Amino acid sequence: MVKAAFLGLGVMGYPMARHLKAKGHDVTVYNRTTAKAETWVAEHGGRFALTPVAAADGQDIVFACVGNDDDLRQVTLGEQGAFKAMRQGAVFVDHTTASAGIARELHAAATAAGFGFLDAPVSGGQAGAENGQLTVMVGGDQATFDIAQPVIMSFAKAARLLGDPGAGQLAKMMNQICIAGVVQGLAEAIHFGKQSGMDIEAVIDVISKGAAQSWQMENRYKTMNAGKFDFGFAVDWMRKDLGIVLDEARANGAKLPLTALVDQFYAEVQAMGGNRWDTSSLLARLER
């Protein structure tokens, strides 16, 4: 068992920290809104800190799951940032979906200060976090990963080191590229079927047994068909992620025409007022 801190108690971080505590780790939490941290402690025990630097003080491992590059820089390198308190030999594990550039920046800062850093974005959504079944894509060095991996498995079903610093974020970008195309394809199929008068449930029951099957089809087609879009990952967050993807593609020369197009479609969903709808709301755009 280790002494751990968790920075960021959003829809992902709140249950991830809970799983750490349930596995017997000594957990201190920090959240920008202190009341949420107080609620977490009231429900699960442990302690809360008023600043990231206070939360990180004396910990073996510090986890973070915040909003974006700016948020991450604030809780690590800011005036009250956690990096100011990280002890020699400790590990900082970042689960934020952020840029590969900031992952490399923070890894360099951590190395210079004598502690480890892993960029470790996750896939599996809120349900995966709640159920402790996340998939974790990791960038960093093997020795640091070996220390952190058993603790990461408190809330994950799989965690794999994929390369040097930034590799975890690049893998998450690939994940989001795949999701964008699959969700758009499923939305178009359902829309096409409705326009043709088909029994959507019957058709999906058949085609989900073949090559068209996907996680999105299995988990989202019923809610999509019912016109309900309040399940899982929000459009605003998907656009944030796709913006990171497209920025990286401009830097590395990758051609992502489908991803760019789906990003535009999500912008249209936002213009419809669907900022907080889940990513399957691409169907709503087709049915306007």
Conformation bin of residue 140: beta by default, left when phi > 0, alpha when psi is -120 to 50: left
The helix (H) or strand (E) run that includes residue 87 is none
Q: What is the pLDDT along the chain (288 residues), one digit of tens a residue?
A: 999 999 999 999 999 999 999 999 999 999 999 999 999 999 999 999 999 999 999 999 999 999 999 999 999 999 999 999 999 999 999 999 999 999 999 999 999 999 999 999 999 988 899 999 999 999 999 999 999 999 999 999 999 999 999 999 999 999 999 999 999 999 999 999 999 999 999 999 999 999 999 999 999 999 999 999 998 889 999 999 999 999 999 999 999 999 999 999 999 999 999 999 999 999 999 999
Measure the CA–CA gap between 51 and 33, rounded to whole angstroms.
10
Catalytic residues: 172
pTM of the model: 0.95
Measure the CA–CA gap between 1 and 136, rounded to whole angstroms.
20
Structure tokens at 224: 């999509």
Measure the CA–CA gap between 49 and 31, rounded to whole angstroms.
8
Please check whether residue 133 is in contact with residue 238, taking contact to mean a CB–CB distance below 8 angstroms: no
